[in-house]
Structure 1
Amino acid sequence: FDVVVDAAGAWTPDTLHVIPDAAKHLSDVLSGTDTRLIVVGGAGSLFVNKEHTVALEDTPDFPDAYKPVSAAHGEALAHLRTLSDVKWTYISPAADFQAEGERIGSYELAGEEFTTNADGQSFISYADFAIAVVDEAESAKHVGERISVYAK
């Protein structure tokens, strides 16, 4: 196989470790191979300023309930950034990641910065996010990078 997609998720205090543990385990397994690792991340670590010093999770409006899961995703990303022997890509969804959201069939790519659409919204359906993951798996355009995805 060419690509492994890590979409591990957890929400409870006793399971949050699964998120960084999965990224660490898979990166260990894939170390030194040509198999790429795509990690489905979170939006909380996206930067809200051009200097990349303030993350969305550090803003006053970021919900306290999401801070633990955001921290777990951030730990996974921080680990990936230390690696030079793994072909990884970390993909952050929009802030409003809609499990039951409508499949539009398109998406917009952004980088490290929190990005909204023309209406000032940050959302994407699971279905459209999945298209972005498959597109990255096929293209390998962002190896060694974190990208983000949102709907127009």
Structure 2
Amino acid sequence: MKKIAVVAANGRVANKVITEALNRGFEVTGFGRNDNNTKAQKYIKKDIFDLTADDLKGFDAVVDAFGVWAPEDMPQHSTTLKHLCDILSGTDTRLVVVGGAGSLYVNKEHTIQVQDTPDFPDAFKPVANGMGKALNELRDRDDVKWTYISPAGDFQADGERTGKYILAGEELTLNDRGESIISYADYAIALIDEIEKGNHIQQRISVVRA
């Protein structure tokens, strides 16, 4: 039985991940700074910056579902991820990061990202920049077994759970209908699949609805 921890466990993506993991027989511990709003078997109320190596010891994987939206909070994408990397450094515990789509590339040369394109909404640029910066810093960590999973461009909180997805890489990928879309529920399937049988260590991958 896999034993996982979900950090920032009260968020909507985190709750889908927890539900998917429980349905597959995983043992799930949630960590969050607010009162428990999850289905995890165990919940520890603790701020992410207060987590220690002992808190995360013995887990097969730690899922980082942290996210902020206010422009002034954007540096926390980097600082929280660095903290998790530091306390997992040198261990066999995988760190699986719920990422963003803005940093996916739209050309084969990997010089233009989604967030650089003319149609990218200004309102999402601070988040895309903040998460993209954290990803770039994560790429420098060779002491942690990390995997960064970007969703499709249209990431739907209440979208259908189809049970099908396309696993892709660093480039924005469209399905056969020309869509870049995935629900939180299908994203959670892909994330748990990666923990269960994937081996994309120190890689960024992405998922889109099939």
Question: Same fold, TM exceeding 0.5?
Answer: yes
Q: What is the RMSD of the two structures over their aligned residues, measured on CA atoms?
A: 0.9
- Give 1:1-152 correspondences, 5 Å limit: 1-152=59-210
Separation in 2 of the partners of 1:99 and 1:146?
22
Cα offset, 1:73, TM superposition: 0.8
Partner SS state of residue 89, structure 1: strand
Q: Is the Cα contact below 8 Å between 1:6 and 1:22 reproduced in 2?
A: no
Gaps of 5+ in 2: 1-58
Provide the C-alpha distance between the structure 2 equivalents of 1:61 and 1:76, rounded to a whole number of angstroms.
23
Where structure 1 has 5 or more consecutive residues not aligned to the other structure, the ranges are none
Percentage identity across paired residues of the two chains: 62
What are the Cα deviations for residues 43-64 of structure 1, in whole angstroms up to 9, with x where unaligned? 0110000011100100101111
Number of equivalences: 152
Whether the aligned pair in 2 keeps the contact of 1:8 and 1:18 (CA below 8 Å) is: no
When the two structures are superposed, what TM-score results if normalisation uses the length of structure 1? 0.97
Amino acid at match of 2:179: Q
CA contact (8 A) 1:6 1:40 kept: yes
Higher relative contact order (CA 8 A, sep 6+): 1
- Output the CA distance in 2 between the equivalents of 1:82 and 1:3: 20
1:20, 1:149 → 2: CA distance?
Answer: 23
Output the TM-score relative to the length of structure 2: 0.71
1:78-102 deviations in whole A, cap 9, x for unaligned? 1110011100000000000000001
